[in-house]
Structure 1
Amino acid sequence: MSPARLTARSLTVGYGQEPVLSDLDLDVPSGAVTALIGPNGCGKSTLLKSLCGLLPYEGTVELEGKNLGGIRRTDRARRLTMLPQAPVAPEGLTVAGLVARGRHPYQSWMSRWSAQDEQEVRRALQATGLSHLGTRPIAALSGGQRQRVWIAMALAQDTPTLLLDEPTTYLDLAYSIEVLGLVRRLQTERGKTVVMVLHDLNLAIRFADHLVVLGDGAVAAQGSPAEVVSSELLDDVFGLDAMVVPDPVTDGPLIVPR
């Protein structure tokens, strides 16, 4: 496994007296796609928000070997992008206008919009297949297109690490595969480190290099899909009675409910 890009040690996070995550240890490999999976309410989104400092926590989170709390907010925004679940764009904003917002960490009263900013927006639109839709209002797009625009905005931010909270929410299977195929290309073609929360277990297995399985506020298992996925784990963590068979397309594991 590649060296860790993000690590958590003894991570404890809660919204009240009862912690959602307790004494959790995690290693996110660099240059890979990691999927966080687990039953509803197990803390997947909570973990993702903690890894970028959006939630207070006890313990330690490190980004590229540095304590996350010690990294200035602007510097953090140039190293790490977080795309929340089901984000909403301001009314009337165009595709290019939203993607351009990814360049905010590079703007200040001393440094205004530059040729570099323009280039990164163009690259992000091209990478997501949206160059021809730059002037289109966000509201006029399909669900899959809209999600690609948000990913393009994250790309324009030009960070080595992307955190995606359920990027396939509200999308049908065809759009889900389209968006996850884009995520995979970001890793293979640009070397991005991606951490994403997914509900669909078979999509997580197919598109992720590394799985982190959460259960009861802790990491139940982590590793490659082949190392992690078993009938026993599915029963223990998800309460799912299923077989694990070879995927005829990828030769990886495939979950088939009994």
Structure 2
Amino acid sequence: MHVLILGGTTEARRVAELLHPAPGLRLTSSLAGRVASPRLPPGEVRVGGFGGSGGLAGWLREQRVDALIDATHPFAGTISFHAAEAAAMAHVPLLALRRPGWVPGEGDDWHDAGSLEEAARVLPMLGHRVFLTTGRMGLAVFSGLETPWFLVRSVEPPEGPCPPRMEVLLDRGPFTLDGERELLRRHRIDVVVTKDSGGTATAPKLTAAREAGLPVVVVRRPSAPEGVPVVRDPDAAAEWVRGRAQSPGVHSG
């Protein structure tokens, strides 16, 4: 049985760890290639895109894939739609692994934004020393803001246009609550901007912001394909694979 995991996330690596090694199971994890030194999961690894839904469907057929797991980042863009289209074209069962989103609690001062552009519009009204944790790819949206100072945290150096007043902090989660408290204090942060990535690896910044009484601009997740079965944790995804492996006639041939 051949399983393809569209990954690059902590959850995707965990699924691979839960399934590998297993007799009779070929496991391939696909990474987008946007990070130079990613944490590699066990099993086979391929890096780079497929060329849209048609390219992915062709790969599924050529490699005789029996099950597809979309465990990409909630903000990975169109890959989830490509996965749904490709799975339908190649007649391969698809499961989506989506970590739960964050939910505001008592004392949180969250400001909802439908996009990075909307976040950039509301930001100047909320603060002037910004902790920006939306990743290195979308900084051009904030490049026209000349007054705020930005602390940008990302795994790799930013690309493209950037805010004129900016300091870059290269770091990779998981992060600790004590570390986030110190970061906010040391840089005199007065507003936080984040995407609703969910999970626990980067959530401590939200607790630290609440304790400090800081506003947080939270960018909503983009829409996802409808009609795709969804699980919320790697154990459930691994169990789905095991169940299919034990079902007669599962292999696409």
State the TM-score, normalized to the length of structure 1. Answer: 0.26
Larger relative helix fraction: 1
Greater gyration radius: 2
Larger relative strand fraction: 1
State the TM-score, normalized to the length of structure 2. Answer: 0.27
